[in-house]
């Protein structure tokens, strides 16, 4: 007979791709874990993991078994959620992933209040790129992500929270700084600074130029920064332009805010959402998180109709 414990073991091995790390995660010895997985394979008369590969990988049938095991384990968690909901208990663990272009601006607006309101929720926050957040969600290493959508990932649910404008940031001596009307095509210049590859905001900038007819080939890649603050600091000293998201201007010093301009031909927006696995069980914790972030947003950021969403994929 298949047990939930055996399913937990094969999911752990799939997550860590290592018997030793999986055993440590499950708080058992490696021989015990290996024996239980071997027994499951014998009972099912199939091989779940190809042990000849390093790191080990699931077989084709193993992938299907593991995927179904994740669904079963998530559904099992719902029993605890039903009981907590019945008792009006708000507790549990919530592992959050957030992209770097949101973390420094968004987290301070809500995370403290969320923790104070719900002290029995154990919150862990990790700053990751979108690609890593999706990977971690699929492997149950994260519960929820905060990132830019649409993702168009079959196994991921998206719940939009707000829509922030993409704005121009320029050096005071740049020609666009004092230009009366700024069009999107104006940013297709060798003087634009971009984030490094892997950041969705970089791809949004490129897609925005393409959307308005500018050539991606005109965008230079002389320096690729890992943060928006780095880009703005470089521009302040060395000149040039970049794009920044609207939340980066919240609390920005007045002297720096004078370098920020809006586009006149279009209002480009990026959609920020909570994302989570379709089989995610902690729905109440996500609902409360969504409400907390939504309440912390300036009213205008909640308006989907004030501009055009720029996709990045």
Question: Is 49 or 189 the better-scoring residue by pLDDT?
Answer: 49
Q: Are residues 234 and 182 in the same domain?
A: yes
- Domain shared by 283 and 134, yes or no: yes
The set of residues, in sequence order, having a beta carbon less than 8 Å from that of 46 and lying 6+ positions away, is 59, 61, 62, 65
**Closest CA relative to residue 263, chosen from 148, 202, 163, 180:** 180
Which among 34, 39, 6 is positioned nearest to 18, based on CA atoms?
A: 34
Q: Any idea what the CATH number is for the domain that residue 211 is in?
A: 3.40.190.10
Structural domain includes residue 261? yes
Indicate if the pLDDT at residue 283 is higher than 90. Answer: no
Tell whether 40 and 188 lie within a shared domain. Answer: no
pLDDT at residue 210, as a whole number:
59
pLDDT of residue 105: 95
Give the pLDDT confidence score for residue 216 in this predicted structure. Answer: 41
Answer yes or no: is 281 within a domain: yes
Query: What pLDDT score was predicted for residue 281?
Result: 66
Of the three residues 84, 108, 135, the one that is the final residue of a domain is 84
Pairing of strands 308-309, 268-277: parallel
113 and 46 assigned to the same domain: no
Within-domain flag for 24: yes
What integer is the mean pLDDT of 282-300? 92
Q: What is the pLDDT of residue 225?
A: 67
Q: Residue 215 domain-assigned? A: yes
- Out of 84, 117, 143, pick the residue that ends a domain: 84
| CA-based nearest residue to 245, from 289, 199, 286, 212 | 199
Q: What is the predicted pLDDT for the residue at 191?
A: 81
Q: Confidence class of residue 83 from pLDDT cuts 50, 70 and 90?
A: confident
Three-state DSSP state, 261: strand
Between 295 and 140, the more confident residue is: 295
Residue 200 lies in a domain: yes
* Alpha helix ranges (H) inside the chain: 4-16, 19-26, 30-44, 60-86, 103-117, 130-138, 200-211, 228-238, 254-257, 283-296
Instruction: Give the range among 15-19, 84-88, 184-188, 307-311 with minimum mean pLDDT.
Output: 84-88
Q: Which residues of 59-92 are buried (b: 16+ CB within 10 A; e: fewer)?
A: eeebeebbeebbeebbeeeeeebeebeeeeeeeb
pLDDT of residue 86: 63
Range of the domain at 107: 90-162+270-308
Query: 313 in a domain, yes or no?
Result: no
Rounded to an integer, the average pLDDT of 189-215 is 71
> How do 144-149 and 268-277 pair as beta strands?
antiparallel
Answer yes or no: is pLDDT of 65 > 50: yes
The CATH number given to whatever domain includes residue 68 is 1.10.10.10
* pLDDT, average across residues 241-263: 92
**Percent residues over pLDDT 90 in the chain:** 58
3-state DSSP helix/strand/coil percent for the chain, to nearest 5? 45, 20, 35
- pLDDT score of 213: 38
Q: pLDDT of 8-56, one tens digit each?
A: 999 999 998 999 999 999 999 999 999 999 999 999 999 999 988 888 8
177 and 257 fall within a common domain: yes
* pTM for this prediction: 0.78
The per-residue pLDDT for range 204-226, each reduced to its tens digit, is: 887 776 534 344 444 344 556 67
Write down the pLDDT at residue 209.
67
Total structural domains in the chain? 3
Inform me whether the pLDDT recorded for 230 exceeds 70.
yes
- Residue 47 sits in the same domain as residue 135: no
Is 149 found in the same domain as 274? yes
- Across the range 275-292, mean pLDDT stands at 86
Q: Which structure tokens are listed for 101? A: 């272009």
State the pLDDT at residue 212: 42
Q: Is the pLDDT of residue 302 over 50?
A: yes
What is the pairing mode between strands 308-309 and 194-195?
Answer: unpaired
Looking at residue 220, its pLDDT comes to 42
Residues 181 and 43 placed together within one structural domain of the fold: no
On whether the CB atoms of residues 180 and 283 are closer than 8 A, the answer is no
Q: 246 with 98, same domain?
A: no
Backbone angles phi, psi at 181, to 5 degrees: -125, 130
pLDDT band at 122 (very low <50, low <70, confident <90, very high): very high
Same domain, 141 and 279: yes
What pLDDT, on a 0 to 100 scale, did the predictor assign at position 275? Answer: 96
Q: What is the pLDDT of residue 159?
A: 96
Q: Helix or strand or coil: residue 46?
A: coil
- On whether both 113 and 249 belong to a single domain, the answer is no
Same domain, 284 and 144: yes
Q: What is the mean predicted confidence (pLDDT) over 97-105? A: 94
Structure tokens, 271: 């959609």
Average pLDDT score, the chain? 87
Domain boundary among 84, 111, 128: 84
């Amino acid at each position: 007979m298949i047990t939930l414990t055996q399913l937990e073991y094969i999911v752990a091995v799939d997550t860590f791709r290592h018997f030793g790390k999986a055993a440590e995660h499950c708080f058992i010895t490696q021989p015990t874990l290996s024996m239980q997985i071997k027994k499951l394979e014998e009972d099912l008369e199939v091989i779940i993991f190809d042990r000849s590969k390093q790191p080990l990988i699931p077989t084709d049938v193993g992938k299907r078994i593991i995927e179904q095991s994740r669904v079963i384990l998530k559904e099992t968690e719902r029993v605890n959620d039903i009981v907590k909901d019945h008792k009006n208990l708000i507790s549990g663990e919530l592992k959050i992933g957030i992209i770097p272009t949101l973390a420094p601006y968004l987290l301070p607006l809500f995370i403290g209040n969320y923790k104070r309101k719900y002290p029995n929720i154990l919150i862990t926050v990790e700053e990751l790129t979108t690609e890593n957040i999706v990977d971690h969600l699929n492997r149950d290493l994260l519960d929820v992500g905060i990132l830019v959508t649409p993702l168009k990932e079959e196994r991921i649910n998206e719940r939009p929270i707000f829509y922030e404008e993409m704005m121009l940031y320029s050096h005071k001596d740049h020609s666009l700084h004092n230009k009366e009307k700024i069009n999107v095509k104006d940013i297709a210049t060798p003087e634009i600074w971009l984030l490094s590859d892997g950041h969705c905001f970089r791809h949004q900038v490129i897609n925005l130029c393409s959307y308005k007819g500018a050539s991606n080939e005109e965008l230079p890649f002389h320096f690729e920064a890992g943060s928006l603050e780095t880009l703005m600091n470089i521009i302040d000293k060395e000149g040039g332009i970049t794009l920044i998201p609207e939340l980066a201007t919240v609390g920005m010093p007045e002297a720096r805010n004078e370098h920020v301009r809006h586009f006149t031909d279009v209002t480009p927006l990026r959609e920020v959402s909570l994302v989570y696995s379709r089989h995610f069980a902690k729905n109440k914790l996500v609902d409360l998180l969504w409400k907390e972030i939504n309440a912390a947003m300036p009213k205008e950021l909640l308006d989907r109709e004030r501009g055009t969403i720029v996709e990045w994929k």
